[in-house]
Amino acid sequence: MQKVKLPLTVDPIRAAQKRSDYDGIITANLLERLAESTQSVNSDASVTLTFDIDNQRLVVLHGKASVSVDLECQRCGDAYTHSYEVEFFYSPLRNPEKADELPEAYEPIEIDENGEISLLQLIEDELMVALPQVAMHDEVDCKVSSDNLVFGEIPSADERPNPFAVLESLKHSNKE
Ligand SMILES: [Zn+2]
């Protein structure tokens, strides 16, 4: 089944009043910032969105997005495919000063002067934030086994007494 393209902007208040649901895609070519942060974007982003008004009468947006990208493994240098999903809860606000009053579960997002929010920007931000800090293969898939890695390893301390310490004590005893 071919998925519909998501609108790039939406009026969240109207969408919430209509209890709108979206199930669609953002095509890979639009995810330019994500492409710059990765080796390549391999798939369109699949997105589901639900707009609602909660029992505190807040407009809320609950969504999930998934995508597949290529990343460069920081251990062996090869590219590998990373597929992942993000989930987010937003409350679109006309007045950003109200952000402090929001329940912690919701992130604020400002409604622009046209009464809209940018779905492309919101979803791309979420996908970028969720990229791994250090891209790495799963250990079993990586060319460099962790046994060969030395960084962060402190060689076990030598238990024998330091020969120089013995000399020091001899010197001191000779002086007396
Ligand atoms: Zn690797």
Ligand 1 center from residue 71 Cα (angstroms): 10
| Count of CA atoms in the C-beta half-sphere (13 A) of 101 | 9
Ligand 1 center from residue 147 Cα (angstroms): 13
- Looking at residues 123-137, what average pLDDT do you find? 96
pLDDT in tens, 138-163: 888 998 876 665 555 444 555 555 55
pLDDT in tens, 15-27: 999 999 999 999 9
| d(C-alpha 25, C-alpha 2), whole Å | 10
Residue among 103, 112, 107 at smallest CA distance from 57: 103
Number of C-beta neighbours around residue 34 at 10 A: 21
Ligand 1 center from residue 154 Cα (angstroms): 23
- Looking at residues 46-53, what average pLDDT do you find? 97
Ligand 1 center from residue 29 Cα (angstroms): 27
Going by DSSP bridges, is the β-strand pair 59-72/79-93 parallel, antiparallel, or unpaired?
antiparallel
- Looking at residues 7-20, what average pLDDT do you find? 96
| d(C-alpha 23, C-alpha 36), whole Å | 26
* pLDDT, position 176: 47
* pLDDT, position 145: 75
Going by DSSP bridges, is the β-strand pair 40-41/59-72 parallel, antiparallel, or unpaired?
antiparallel
pTM: 0.79
Please give the residue that has the higher pLDDT: either 42 or 100: 42
Ligand 1 center from residue 3 Cα (angstroms): 34
What number of H helices and E strands is found in the chain? 4, 9
* pLDDT, position 95: 85
Ligand 1 center from residue 138 Cα (angstroms): 7
Ligand 1 center from residue 41 Cα (angstroms): 19
Ligand 1 center from residue 80 Cα (angstroms): 8
Ligand 1 center from residue 13 Cα (angstroms): 46
pLDDT tier for residue 137 given thresholds of 50, 70 and 90: very high
> Where do the domains of the chain lie?
4-175
Ligand 1 center from residue 67 Cα (angstroms): 20
* pLDDT, position 168: 63
Ligand 1 center from residue 139 Cα (angstroms): 7
